[in-house]
Chain A
């Protein structure tokens, strides 16, 4: 996994909590696995259904060994085969129950936050009434106060309050909620209001809230087989069918040679040959894949979405917040001819004195570091806030001086229009120098006299370059989307090591990028949080919405990151790939095992009647009975042995497809050929002690 838990502090805590719960989970899974012996469950898995059916036939043979005519084997043999088959089915059930159990435990925890919540509903005449949360409908107005659990999802219409969303996100730092803003006006049911009060309009009917969806998802209640899982199930079913034909036709062929075959042995052979290992673990692998995403605090709306993440070929990433730390920092002052470096530092300080934005603070900090001093008279000055029309901010001093800073073109226009001073070539050059370094130039003017330029630089998040290099080695193209000018964008793109960038982009432009990538036959993933990201999130093959984002964004996406960390998109890709790799690796292992099972069972079955075949008994298994039973026991025991791998997923490293294939063929292909030879021999040695 490329994303370390260290980058998500609350992750480590969550993982710890999971470990603590595991012991309890096993007990519960043992119980659940018994219920899964029901035919309704078994019939969904063709491979295990064959084992399940075989179990009953050998069971009947244990009671009456002569059921299908004369038999050379006794009750103990048929009984032993039956017990091993029951165990095989049970191990498969256990794997699935254990995988489901993790989600179920988390769902229970979520459900607790939901139970017995009441709400103050505001009637149309303004009166308050206490109602149960389950009676709230879309459009109702609700008032919540300090200490309340927010009863359901909604949009804030009045008030301002801090809210603890840790029940959903695991993040304990409170979040400010207020009406009117895109992001901060959404409240989620199950979270807790820490201060003040809010009035919000309910946006979801009971059963359709975010919490409800989350419970459903983690519990796997709506779990459907994913497309790839279906394809693999078909493959395994047909393989099983082929083996059914092979084993069924073996009996008349053996009869022709006057070799009698016992039904229990035939069933043992069939069960050993059909891909029970992957058949037993397939469902658990899928559930665990979604569970892994959940443990990364990413809520996938379906298993399909997690699977699709593994296929992603293009990642569209916002520059700000994803590639760079959200805020730009002042890193340099450049004075224009006629002004000194001290002049620009002082001017910058003056223009930013009342600017509380992180950018403004960083200019102040840099100016102070360069020796600029503020004057006491500034205390009576007035700060001018940034506005979208003027694209400037600054300070009006009591003595009538005006300090302004802003985009280079905005300041140039301001100086020309209000002070009739034409912008110099030197300004353009200075701005270009700054842009070429990947920084954003801000011009600073005192009374229309442009003193110089402040360079605001983006700060890359640590480790991004390595991550993009990993992406490239996996064949994933990264595209950075930014509102910056092309020159700045190019520098950041080069520093971060993304493959491509779109400069001067508006949020709406993302959808155009997605369309053009998809037209080239590529699968696209993107992150987003704003309402204007929603169409693009819906269009992308994988859309990861931030939990801090708006409801439309969250509804359009097929995954939600509860930590609201856009870089998680990269981890999600890894989780998707790991899911598919685990399936492929265990399928390879399962099929490769058959070679050794043949070498154990075929000579054993025939060598009494056709003594020459004893030469094929390369493992020198003790007796025909121990050979058959050893192979069957190995077949059963390998399932619980591989449960941890199925749940954890095969180790994944971001390397090229060829390197990954070579590694997995060596481990699971060759390993699958060799391991059962050793395992079966060992089991045979143990059985030999008892049966001699």
Chain B
């Protein structure tokens, strides 16, 4: 059980985020439907300048799904290579006040893959590995572009669902990309960076402060342009920290105010995108059903995680720790948590972070209770509880295609979704998109657990060690980046395996999804009657939720049983300390 005050904190944060998502969702729809917004006079010249640089021919033509995918890939490959080169040669590049050498090739690959895919999995400690130039050009820069990539792919997918021309025009990748950068991501960064500075985040190109300690000696305190990174890190659901401790570090997340602000930033675009989806496919009722189902899953996850952490563990209780809240004690499981956030704000932050595929942490998941840690794991396995900007909603829609297919049969019609028939090609593409996720989680995780080079990097043995490995691959497969910690990922095997998983998890999924959209767009629309299965009802929403939970549970339950579930039961049977 949780305290009343925690309950209201959860309700409040979801309500505030929801109320922000409605106007912002409308704004997103305006931006991507080419409608006028109040920022146009300010930003149109900037856009035109960027179109000019990319090339007028490329930025003015319509693209179908293949074209869109190709240009998305080309742009990403180019940026990925650039990041890789910067990391490898940072020793020869400017803004390197602490004189860090170039990053080793495996780690550079892992990091480039991680940041170009919006995963932000970090097998390094930023303050002890990267120059300020690398932090800016190889970390902060792709935080913008990878966020924009995810967003525009989702936008193209929505357009393909609403396409009336057979899908020949799903927009222009470059135009969408530029508009996403200028109109969605850049501006809030400019506005909100000062807020973080006010709360105590540094924004400087000085590499470190040197403190003369009272007891004598010097302390080197690394710093840099942290505040600007924090905004895009959360707004773009990136999650890569400047420091190894990520948002637990007082420079990244100094106060409870920044903690709430960072949570709201993570939630803003993914929630708004559902609203924008409803407008773009001209079916706001469907969007409300999706939003509702996602919100229910999110609330459930928050309640479970916070309850679990507030409840503590029998081991702590047995050790004489005050696990009941009160008397100036936070109670529960405070291991690995910051005192300034407490159980509630910590569990909320990490849950929001995994639900919205940000992956930033303000407390160490490795020290969570089995149930608290499992909530984050499950959210990434499902990868559709709002999820990152775009991909989460597309995953949700893919579950929807399955739900529609089976429910559609049960009403005696060839299943339809948004007026398009779901046939072999759609089922095949949706199935493949769905198959990728468990495949790139379970296979490399099993491999790592068999191989000595996989096992040797683990911080724990037994069920907790198993959870660490599964968590790492789940987090990278979902392009989440949340780290369970406990796994020393900076080994050749994990750098390469996790890097490859991130790339597949991102691009293979995106291509299947765009192909699915293209296939639907090319179909003639079927008219809707009372014999048509309605997807915008409470009944179908419930079936949709059941499909997600059932397919998710069926796929990942064995792994969960051996990891956190076994640990939970063992802990309560006092078999494990």
- Given A521-B419, A578-B412; A475-B431 close (CB under 8 Å): no
CB neighbours of B561 from chain A (8 A): 602, 606, 613, 616
**Contact present for B409 and A584 (CB under 8 Å):** yes
**Contact present for B539 and A602 (CB under 8 Å):** no
The CA-CA distance from A251 to B556 in the complex, in Å, is: 14
**Contact present for B546 and A669 (CB under 8 Å):** yes
Number of A-B contacts (CB under 8 A): 217
**Contact present for B540 and A661 (CB under 8 Å):** yes
Identify the stretch in A229-237, A386-394, A505-513, A619-627 within 8 Å (CB) of chain B at 4 or more residues. A229-237
Check if A474 is an interface residue, CB within 8 A of chain B.
Answer: yes
Closest Cβ of chain B to A600, distance in Å, is: 13
**Contact present for A234 and B413 (CB under 8 Å):** no
The CA-CA distance from A589 to B569 in the complex, in Å, is: 30
**Contact present for A475 and B424 (CB under 8 Å):** no
Residue among B533, B550, B559 making CB contact with A253, cutoff 8 Å: B559
The CA-CA distance from A245 to B556 in the complex, in Å, is: 11
- Given A474-B530, A657-B530; A587-B406 close (CB under 8 Å): yes
**Contact present for A245 and B423 (CB under 8 Å):** no
**Contact present for A587 and B409 (CB under 8 Å):** yes
CB neighbours of A656 from chain B (8 A): 530-531
Identify the stretch in B51-59, B211-219, B250-258, B520-528 within 8 Å (CB) of chain A at 4 or more residues. B520-528
Chain B 434-449 per-residue mask, 1 if CB under 8 angstroms from chain A, else 0: 1100110011011101
Check if A241 is an interface residue, CB within 8 A of chain B.
Answer: yes
Closest Cβ of chain B to A253, distance in Å, is: 5
Within A565-609, the residues touching B (CB, 8 Å) are: 576-578, 580-581, 583-585, 587-588, 591-592, 594-595, 598, 602, 606
**Contact present for A252 and B449 (CB under 8 Å):** yes
Check if B532 is an interface residue, CB within 8 A of chain A.
Answer: yes
Closest Cβ of chain B to A340, distance in Å, is: 53
**Contact present for A253 and B423 (CB under 8 Å):** no
Identify the stretch in A305-313, A356-364, A478-486 within 8 Å (CB) of chain B at 4 or more residues. A305-313
**Contact present for A580 and B530 (CB under 8 Å):** no
The CA-CA distance from A147 to B531 in the complex, in Å, is: 51
Check if B291 is an interface residue, CB within 8 A of chain A.
Answer: no
Closest Cβ of chain B to A539, distance in Å, is: 15
The CA-CA distance from A243 to B414 in the complex, in Å, is: 26
Identify the stretch in B35-43, B268-276, B459-467 within 8 Å (CB) of chain A at 4 or more residues. B459-467
CB neighbours of B422 from chain A (8 A): 231
**Contact present for A475 and B569 (CB under 8 Å):** no
- Given A228-B423, A606-B566, A612-B570; A475-B443 close (CB under 8 Å): no
The residue on B at minimum CB distance from A670 is: B546
Residue among A235, A576, A612, A661 making CB contact with B431, cutoff 8 Å: A235
Identify the stretch in A76-84, A120-128, A254-262, A430-438 within 8 Å (CB) of chain B at 4 or more residues. A254-262
Check if A325 is an interface residue, CB within 8 A of chain B.
Answer: no
Chain B CB within 10 Å — which of A251, A311, A595, A610 has the most?
Answer: A610
Chain A 218-245 per-residue mask, 1 if CB under 8 angstroms from chain B, else 0: 0000000001101110110011011101
CB neighbours of A207 from chain B (8 A): none
Chain A 660-687 per-residue mask, 1 if CB under 8 angstroms from chain B, else 0: 1110110011000000000000000000
Interface size class of A (residues with CB under 8 A): 35 or more
Is the contact region of chain A dominated by helix, strand, or loop, or is it mixed? Answer: helix
CB neighbours of A581 from chain B (8 A): 409-412
Closest Cβ of chain A to B347, distance in Å, is: 23
CB neighbours of B543 from chain A (8 A): 661, 665, 669
The CA-CA distance from A588 to B539 in the complex, in Å, is: 15
Check if A520 is an interface residue, CB within 8 A of chain B.
Answer: yes
Chain B 447-491 per-residue mask, 1 if CB under 8 angstroms from chain A, else 0: 101100001000000110110000000000000000000000000
**Contact present for A584 and B408 (CB under 8 Å):** yes
CB neighbours of A602 from chain B (8 A): 557-558, 561
Chain B CB within 10 Å — which of A246, A522, A661 has the most?
Answer: A661
**Contact present for A610 and B570 (CB under 8 Å):** yes
**Contact present for B573 and A245 (CB under 8 Å):** no
The CA-CA distance from A49 to B43 in the complex, in Å, is: 60
**Contact present for A612 and B566 (CB under 8 Å):** yes
Closest Cβ of chain B to A520, distance in Å, is: 5
The CA-CA distance from A660 to B411 in the complex, in Å, is: 6
CB neighbours of A307 from chain B (8 A): 414
CB neighbours of B572 from chain A (8 A): 612
**Contact present for A598 and B412 (CB under 8 Å):** no
The CA-CA distance from A602 to B553 in the complex, in Å, is: 13
Is the contact region of chain B dominated by helix, strand, or loop, or is it mixed? Answer: helix
The CA-CA distance from A228 to B410 in the complex, in Å, is: 13
The residue on B at minimum CB distance from A663 is: B410
CB neighbours of A232 from chain B (8 A): 405, 409, 427
Check if B575 is an interface residue, CB within 8 A of chain A.
Answer: yes
CB neighbours of A585 from chain B (8 A): 409-410
CB neighbours of A256 from chain B (8 A): 449-450, 455, 465-466
The residue on A at minimum CB distance from B556 is: A246
Check if A514 is an interface residue, CB within 8 A of chain B.
Answer: no
CB neighbours of B407 from chain A (8 A): 584, 661, 665
CB neighbours of A473 from chain B (8 A): 530
Residue among A235, A665, A668 making CB contact with B427, cutoff 8 Å: A235
CB neighbours of B568 from chain A (8 A): 612
Check if B428 is an interface residue, CB within 8 A of chain A.
Answer: yes
The residue on A at minimum CB distance from B558 is: A250
Check if A404 is an interface residue, CB within 8 A of chain B.
Answer: no
CB neighbours of A611 from chain B (8 A): 573, 575
**Contact present for B524 and A521 (CB under 8 Å):** yes
The residue on B at minimum CB distance from A664 is: B410
Check if A652 is an interface residue, CB within 8 A of chain B.
Answer: yes
The CA-CA distance from A472 to B530 in the complex, in Å, is: 8
- Given A242-B555, A587-B406, A611-B573; A657-B534 close (CB under 8 Å): yes
**Contact present for A475 and B529 (CB under 8 Å):** yes
**Contact present for B411 and A661 (CB under 8 Å):** yes
Check if A477 is an interface residue, CB within 8 A of chain B.
Answer: yes
Closest Cβ of chain A to B118, distance in Å, is: 25
Check if B339 is an interface residue, CB within 8 A of chain A.
Answer: no
CB neighbours of A477 from chain B (8 A): 529
Within B279-300, the residues touching A (CB, 8 Å) are: none
Closest Cβ of chain A to B430, distance in Å, is: 9
Check if A615 is an interface residue, CB within 8 A of chain B.
Answer: yes
Within A246-276, the residues touching B (CB, 8 Å) are: 246-257, 259, 273
**Contact present for A580 and B562 (CB under 8 Å):** no
The CA-CA distance from A248 to B534 in the complex, in Å, is: 38
- Given A256-B455, A257-B466, A581-B410; A595-B449 close (CB under 8 Å): no
The residue on B at minimum CB distance from A668 is: B410
The CA-CA distance from A136 to B349 in the complex, in Å, is: 84
Check if A476 is an interface residue, CB within 8 A of chain B.
Answer: yes
The residue on B at minimum CB distance from A472 is: B530
The residue on B at minimum CB distance from A239 is: B431
Closest Cβ of chain A to B398, distance in Å, is: 12
Name A's B-contacting residues (CB within 8 A).
227-228, 230-232, 234-235, 238-239, 241-243, 245-257, 259, 273, 307, 310-311, 313, 472-477, 520-523, 576-578, 580-581, 583-585, 587-588, 591-592, 594-595, 598, 602, 606, 610-613, 615-616, 652, 656-658, 660-662, 664-665, 668-669
Could you jot down 25 A-B contacts, CB within 8 Å? A228-B414, A238-B431, A242-B439, A247-B558, A250-B446, A252-B450, A253-B445, A256-B455, A256-B466, A257-B462, A257-B566, A307-B414, A313-B527, A472-B530, A473-B530, A474-B530, A580-B414, A584-B406, A598-B557, A606-B562, A612-B568, A613-B566, A657-B531, A657-B532, A658-B534
The 5 closest A-B pairs by CB, nearest first: A584-B409, A475-B531, A577-B412, A612-B569, A475-B529
Name B's A-contacting residues (CB within 8 A).
402, 405-414, 419, 422-424, 426-428, 431-432, 434-435, 438-439, 442-443, 445-447, 449-450, 455, 462-463, 465-466, 524-527, 529-534, 537, 539-540, 543, 546, 550, 553-559, 561-562, 565-566, 568-573, 575
Given A611-B575, A656-B531, output 15 extra A-B contacts at Cβ < 8 Å. Answer: A227-B414, A227-B424, A231-B405, A253-B562, A254-B562, A259-B562, A476-B529, A477-B529, A598-B554, A606-B566, A610-B463, A652-B412, A658-B534, A662-B539, A669-B543
